[in-house]
Amino acid sequence: MVLPDKNFFKIGEVAKIIGVKPHIVRYWEGEFREVAVRKTKSGQRIFSRRDVVLLAAIRRLVQEEKFTLDGARPHVRHLRRRIDDAPDDLQSLQGLPLFDGVSATPRGEDASDEAAAAGDQPSATPTPDEAPADAPGPQVPSADAHTAVVEEDRAHPALALALQEQVALRQALDDEVARRVAADEAAVTLRDALAECQATVEALHAALDATKAQVAALEERQEQQLRALARWRDEARQRGRQIDRLQLVLTTLEGELAALVP
């Protein structure tokens, strides 16, 4: 990506430079406050050179490195701090990790922006995040230092992921504790039910023993009654034989009496 020799750019130019649609530029502008867009008196959006470089970095983070917007924000904040005091020609930014492929056309002393050519200057009051175009700034730290800081920034998503994993583990632990408490309560309920069943079984055993005793008593009584009945039968038979003998004696006496009577 070649950054033309201009101070300010319209949204269509920015979109063409970084290779996205204008509505994407407008969306990213609203999502990243580090992109300090100015407006002309006619309300037209004007982007500074540093805004364009920031948007190019955002495009690389989001579209190439597949960062989410939330994941890209720490990097964009860090990059904004890094380039706040960079010279306007941005030559010192070339070679930084997120600026690979970004080059700036060397600016002459009489370079002018398209807004000036159109007679429509941006508002006179600069935003807090952007220094005047002609203000000299200190050199940006080396690419190695920048890379180290970027790598440090990359630890933030890892830290957030670790915190999320810790929260998930804590939630899993709480769930396991709740499961064990529920299991203990269920075990207590089962033990109580088992104790009630054992008590019921013991009561049934006692009732069975009592029933067996009653049956034994009835059987004994029945046996006694059968023995008594047998005695009564024997006595009846003896009495029958006695009656037969007496009947025979009576018959004999009647015969003798008939013989005696004329």
Q: What is the DSSP annotation of 93-146?
A: GTTSGGGTT-EEPPPPTT---HHHHTT-PBPSS--TT---TT---PPPPPHHHH
* Alpha-carbon torsion, ordered 207, 213, 216, 220, to 10 deg: -140
Residue 34, SS3? coil
Compute the distance between CA of residue 178 and CA of residue 184 in angstroms, rounded to an integer: 10
Spell out the per-residue pLDDT of the chain, length 262, in tens.
677 778 889 999 999 999 999 999 999 989 998 898 888 888 888 999 888 999 999 999 999 989 999 989 999 888 888 877 655 545 555 545 555 544 444 444 333 444 443 445 444 334 434 433 343 333 333 444 444 444 544 555 565 566 667 777 777 877 888 888 888 888 888 888 889 888 999 999 999 999 999 999 999 999 999 999 999 999 999 999 999 999 999 999 988 888 888 6
Domain 2-140 sits in CATH at: 1.10.1660.10
Domain boundaries of the chain, sorted by first residue: 2-140
Nearest by Cα to 114 from 228, 256, 7: 7
Environment class of 9 (CB within 10 Å of its CB; exposed 0-12, middle 13-18, buried 19+)? buried
Residue 6 in contact with residue 47, Cβ under 8 Å?
Answer: no
